Amino acid sequence: MNAIATTQAISPETDPVDPAVPKTRKQGGGLGRYILVRFVLIFPTVFILVTMVFFLMRITGDPITASLGGKLPPAQLAQRIHEAGYDRPVIVQYLEYLGHIATGNFGNTITDGRPVTTILTTYGGATLELAFYALIVALIVGIPLGMLAAYFRDKYPDAILRIFAILWYATPVFFVGLLLKLVFSVWLDILPVAGRAGTRTELELQSLPHPTGIYLIDAISSGDPDAISDVLLHAVLPALALGFLTAGVFLRLVRTNVIGTLGTDYVDAARSRGVSEFRLVRKHAFKPALIPVITVIGLQVASLLGGAVLTETTFEWRGLGYELTQYLGARDFVAVQGIVALLAVIVAVTNFIVDIIAALIDPRVRY
């Protein structure tokens, strides 16, 4: 959701026009060293987040009372708390928790006793699939429109596009979802209302020998054209809802950066040689403007995951976000803590990958 904030925060740092304000000192150091440093930096990030989430969740009391308090007699409740070890000093629990996480154990949910890691493997694919579709929608819609807006800078197509971008930004992703549902599923009745696939397809995909949990891949491997189209049709509205959110960010970012690049000397040089304005935007100004887009894709992963939680709830898309909402409703804080910690790890790792890609493209980024 911090879409605009990220745009603002990142564009000056990586702005191709203004290399005078690098985020970090330029030093020798090869790519290998940079990758190593960035990799090592993942650990404090994850550590801080996990620690924060752990202690915040413990301030309110133990998770068993939260989910089962009032449903069980006090004696039984105390026994459950004792069995789970929640009556020990918090610092002991914390160290144990860190030990478990280090070995990939994120705990079991209280309400239905499933390991959190199982939830990840079962529903992670769904969230990944949704985020991937949304990213594609965002890139396809956002980048060309951003270039267009830069090309028509301050003329009416630019104004219209920018107002659209602001409108997209101003519309919460769940409201976009509800509107799309209302128009395309209820009034026009051309797309399914909710879910990841029809019941028949879902059963078919689950009966596959090795389902990946990513329905599109499963559907393709099943070879059933009906299943493929069913899965794709179900994905259209959620992907649009989540993708538009990010598309607006890309539009603004590309516009700002292309306009910035268009004012540089080398573009002026090209212009003086008679290169057409359209070609200038498409060839000369576009590529340098893409570097911040790549960085922002990384930052958008965090907001895409946040948006996915809301989109999944709107469309009953059974992914991590949908599960998270269900467990929130059940006050199952072990599950919540586990899923949140996992998402933190995913965000940290994605940021690492994006930083590496950015460094490969633009050597100035390295430190």
Main-chain dihedrals φ then ψ at residue 69, nearest 5 degrees: -55, 135
Interface residue with another protein among 71, 89, 102, 187 (CB under 8 A) is 187
Tokens standing for residue 367: 């430190």
Which 241-280 positions form the footprint of another protein (CB under 8 A)? 256, 259-260, 263
Among residues 35, 194, 275, 356, which is the contact residue for another protein, using CB under 8 A? 194
- Tokens, residue 124: 């992670």
Please tell me the distance from the alpha carbon of residue 14 to that of residue 366, in angstroms, as a whole number. Answer: 12
Give pairs for 279-288: CB < 8 Å, separation 24+.
281/147, 281/150, 281/151, 282/147, 285/150, 285/258, 285/261, 286/147, 286/258, 286/261, 288/16, 288/257, 288/261
Distance (Å, whole) CA 149 – CA 167 = 15
Torsion of CA 109, 112, 118, 124, to 10 degrees: -90
Contact between 102 and another protein per CB under 8 A: no
Smaller CB distance to another protein: residue 58 or 114? 58
> Applying CB under 8 A, does 172 fall inside the site for another protein?
yes
* Smallest separation, CB 244 to another protein (Å): 13
Tell me whether residue 45 or residue 212 sits nearer to another protein (CB atom): 45
Q: SS3 for 224?
A: coil
Of positions 186, 203, 208, 269, contacts another protein by CB under 8 A: 186
**Residue 9 or 140 having the CB closest to another protein:** 9
Residue ranges in contact with another protein by CB under 8 A: 1-2, 4-5, 8-9, 17, 44-45, 48-49, 52-53, 56-57, 59-60, 66, 154, 159, 162, 166-167, 169-172, 174-175, 178-179, 181-182, 185-187, 193-194, 256, 259-260, 263, 299, 302-303, 305-307, 309-310, 313-314, 324-325, 328-329, 331, 333, 336, 340, 343-344, 347-348, 351
